[in-house]
C-alpha cells in the first residue's frame, strides 16, 4: 500500500489554523484580547521552538469550545474558513494533494490541531482521512478537554498506527510512504517514512533535511 501523509499548519496551509482560530475568536470579542492574545502568541512561540506543553495548550485552546453551542461554533467556523483559512490555502498545496490522491492508495492529513478546527479544512482539500487531536464530547457538547492521545510529536506515530489498525492494516503493510511537514516537532514521523519532505521548514528541520538529503520544497504562492 502507498500512503501519503500531510501535516496541516504551515505545510498545506500558509499559516497556523490553531493560532488563527484563537485570533479569530479574539477578533469576534468571544475571547478577551488582553487575557488571551499574549498567551496565544506565547504558546505559538513554544510550538515553533519545540518546547510546547501540549496538555497546557489544549486546556487553553479547547476550553472556549465548552462555553458555546455546537450551532454557534459551527457558524463561527464557517466564517473562520472564509476569512482566515481560504486565504492561506495555496494552489501549490491543492495540486500536491491531488497528485497524491491519484497516485497513492490512501492520503491523510495528520495534525496536532484539534478535529473541530481541522475537519472542515480537510474537507476543503478533499481529503477523506484526518488524524487529529480529538476533542471530548458529552451529549453532543464539547467539554473543553482533549480525548485520548494528542496527535503531537512522537505520538503522531502512535495515532497513525491506531488509524491504520482501524483500517485493518499495519505499518508493515505500507510499502511506500510520504510525509510532508514544516516542523521540527514532526521529526519522529519524518524519520519513519520512505519519502520525507521538508516544506517551507523551520531552521531546525531545514538543517536536518540538508544533513539527510531530504527534499526541501515550498508550497507558498
Catalytic status, residue 9: yes
Element (H, E) at 116: helix 115-124
DSSP code for 84: I
Q: How far apart are the C-alpha atoms of 139 and 93, rounded to whole Å?
A: 36
Q: How far apart are the C-alpha atoms of 172 and 176, rounded to whole Å?
A: 10
DSSP code for 185: G
Catalytic status, residue 7: yes
> Sign of torsion, CA 201 124 134 145?
positive
What are the grid coordinates assigned to 165, written together? 489498525
Quick check: 110 and 5 in contact, CB under 8 A? Answer: yes
Q: How far apart are the C-alpha atoms of 23 and 43, rounded to whole Å?
A: 13
Quick check: 184 and 205 in contact, CB under 8 A? Answer: yes
DSSP code for 89: B
Kindly list the catalytic residues: 7, 9
Amino acid at each position: 500500500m502507498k500512503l501519503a501523509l500531510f501535516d496541516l499548519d504551515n505545510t498545506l496551509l500558509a499559516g497556523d489554523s490553531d493560532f488563527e482560530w484563537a485570533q479569530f475568536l479574539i477578533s469576534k470579542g468571544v475571547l478577551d484580547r488582553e487575557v488571551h492574545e499574549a498567551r496565544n502568541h506565547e504558546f505559538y512561540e513554544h510550538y515553533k521552538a519545540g518546547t510546547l506543553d501540549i496538555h497546557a495548550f489544549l486546556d487553553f485552546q479547547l476550553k472556549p469550545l465548552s462555553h458555546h453551542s455546537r450551532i454557534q461554533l459551527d457558524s463561527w467556523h464557517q466564517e473562520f474558513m472564509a476569512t482566515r483559512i481560504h486565504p492561506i490555502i495555496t494552489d501549490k498545496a491543492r495540486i500536491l494533494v491531488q497528485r497524491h490522491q491519484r497516485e497513492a492508495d490512501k492520503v491523510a492529513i495528520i495534525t496536532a490541531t484539534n478535529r473541530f478546527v481541522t475537519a472542515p479544512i480537510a474537507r476543503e482539500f478533499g481529503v477523506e482521512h484526518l488524524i487529529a487531536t480529538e476533542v471530548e464530547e458529552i451529549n453532543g457538547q464539547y467539554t473543553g478537554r482533549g480525548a485520548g492521545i494528542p496527535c503531537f510529536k512522537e505520538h503522531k506515530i502512535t495515532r497513525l498506527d491506531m488509524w491504520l489498525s482501524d483500517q485493518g492494516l499495519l505499518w508493515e503493510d505500507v510499502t511506500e510512504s510520504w510525509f510532508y511537514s514544516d516542523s521540527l516537532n514532526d521529526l519522529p514521523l519524518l524519520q519513519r517514512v520512505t519519502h520525507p519532505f521538508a516544506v517551507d521548514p523551520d531552521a531546525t528541520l531545514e538543517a536536518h533535511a540538508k544533513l539527510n538529503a531530504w527534499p526541501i520544497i515550498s508550497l507558498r504562492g
